[in-house]
Amino acid sequence: MKLNKKFWSEGPGSFAIAIGIALFIRWALLEAYVIPSGSMLPTLLINDHIFVNKLVYGLRVPFTEKWLFEFNEVERGEVIVFRFPEDQSIFYVKRVVGMPGDRITYENGDLYINDSLVEKKPPTTKKSEFQWLRKEDFNGQEPAYFTHWEEKLGDNTHSILLGKGERYEEYGPVTVPEGHYFVMGDNRDNSKDSRVWGYVPRELLIGRASFVWLSCEEKLPVITFLCNPLTVRFKRFFHFIE
């Protein structure tokens, strides 16, 4: 059967083209995710809707974990989205702390990379991030219980949260294996990350978290995947993730 031009411009063909373009963008370029927990506070808030750059690290063979082309390497300090190694139907977002071959130690709230202490200092330019924090985000604890710090990993300066008071936790030292990454949440005392379940293999990478395109304090009670328009955080629109 011969298809005329109207089939592609006005008929079912135009609908098929639109679907094909949307699927290509989702497969190769950008994909949207919603932040479900407070493990990345204050960088990412609960109910932040983010776009993830999938092209930055490469292109995959569709429906596989095999790389068709590899572009940029992951950099220390980037926020990445990946498939959870213990259940690949779940997606996680964390910050890359350790690169392949790095020696990682974490004790008493201090992070050491290759036996060098990662300096943290009181925040300077990121004080506005702390204004969004609510008691509900901390499982009933007051935000005032936490201290806000600024940390630099590689070229990336970002915020982290630490609970006040004495701490005695120790982790490591461990050496990150080749082809893997050590990741942590910015809410250091409330994050299940590589300290709990191990490393992220490169083949499970989805992409780099780029920016927040929508954010709200609450979702609708019935249609739970939609934001309650009365609780939208307008100032977070197009907030770039550092």
The pLDDT tens digits for 142-180 are 777 888 899 999 888 899 999 887 666 889 899 999 999
- Checking if the pLDDT of 67 tops 70, the result is yes
Known active-site residue 37: no
DSSP strand pairing (205-215 vs 239-240): antiparallel
* Arithmetic mean of pLDDT, 38-53: 93
Residue that is written with structure tokens 């993830």 in the block: 52
Q: Which of 54, 94, 159, 191 is catalytic?
A: 94
Report the Cα 205 to chain-centroid distance in Å.
11
Write the single-letter amino acid at 242.
Answer: E
pTM: 0.85
What domains are there in the chain, each with its CATH number? 32-240 (2.10.109.10)
Q: What span, in angstroms and rounded, lies between the C-alpha atoms of 79 and 102?
A: 18
pLDDT score, position 174: 97
Q: Which of 39, 191, 194, 215 is catalytic?
A: 39
Q: What span, in angstroms and rounded, lies between the C-alpha atoms of 173 and 215?
A: 37
pLDDT score, position 147: 87
* Arithmetic mean of pLDDT, 212-233: 88
Tokens (6 digits) for 160: 């982290």
* Arithmetic mean of pLDDT, 225-236: 89
pLDDT tens sequence across 78-128: 999 999 999 999 999 999 999 999 999 999 899 999 999 999 988 876 556
pLDDT tens sequence across 205-220: 999 999 999 999 998 8
Known active-site residue 5: no
CA distances from 98 to 52, 72, 74, 113, 199 (A): 21, 17, 10, 7, 9
pLDDT score, position 17: 46
Least confident of 55-59, 71-75, 205-209: 55-59
pLDDT tens sequence across 174-202: 999 999 999 999 999 989 999 999 999 99
